[in-house]
């Protein structure tokens, strides 16, 4: 059976230490650690983690090397994220959110997971991101919370 490729943004990693989100973030991490699912992270996530507390920065190290993929920013990712900004889906202040969506789209993941309800896991934003994706010839991107993605 094909392993689900799951792009995780920084909120999911930090969620492992948040009282509200830790149950679901840690269950998702357990599925990465066991190899049930493959974690996809980006250069953007790694840059954001540089500002995070040590325990959050260290969390990714729990996932075995074969079950995590790190993606560098490419011209294609940057160009797609710029299209989101040009259409004012998010403002330049939230460029990283656009980069997360663009990376997940270009990497053709099965789903992107986030706890960012303002700009990512938000139906109005999901529709707007996906309208650009369709216009640009990409597939519709599934955007969910960790709670919706874990096997239970």
Q: DSSP string of the chain? A: -PPEEEEE-HHHHHHTT-TTTHHHHHHHHHHHHTTSEEEEEEHHHHHHHTTS-HHHHHHGGGS-GGGEEEE---HHHHHHHHHHHHTTSS-GGGHHHHHHHHHHHHTT-SEEE---TTTTS-HHHHHHHHHHHHHTTPPPPPEE-HHHHS--
pLDDT in tens, 130-146: 999 999 999 999 999 99
pLDDT in tens, 85-140: 999 999 999 999 999 999 999 999 999 999 999 999 999 999 999 999 999 999 99
* Domains of the chain (ranges, CATH numbers): 4-149 (3.40.50.1010)
pTM of the model: 0.95
């Amino acid at each position: 059976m094909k392993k689900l490729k799951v792009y995780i943004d920084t909120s999911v990693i930090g969620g492992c230490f948040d009282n509200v989100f830790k149950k679901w973030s840690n269950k998702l991490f357990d599925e990465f650690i066991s190899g049930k699912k493959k974690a996809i992270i980006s250069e953007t996530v790694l840059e954001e983690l540089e500002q995070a507390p040590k325990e959050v920065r260290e969390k990714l190290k729990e996932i075995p090397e074969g079950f995590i993929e790190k993606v560098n920013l490419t011209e294609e990712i940057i160009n797609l994220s710029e299209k989101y900004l040009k259409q004012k889906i998010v403002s330049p202040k939230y460029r990283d959110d656009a980069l997360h969506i663009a990376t997940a789209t270009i990497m053709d993941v099965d789903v992107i997971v986030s706890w960012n309800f303002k700009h990512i896991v938000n139906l109005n934003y999901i529709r707007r991101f996906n309208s650009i994706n369709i216009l640009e010839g990409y597939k519709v991107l599934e955007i969910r919370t960790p709670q919706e993605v874990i096997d239970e």
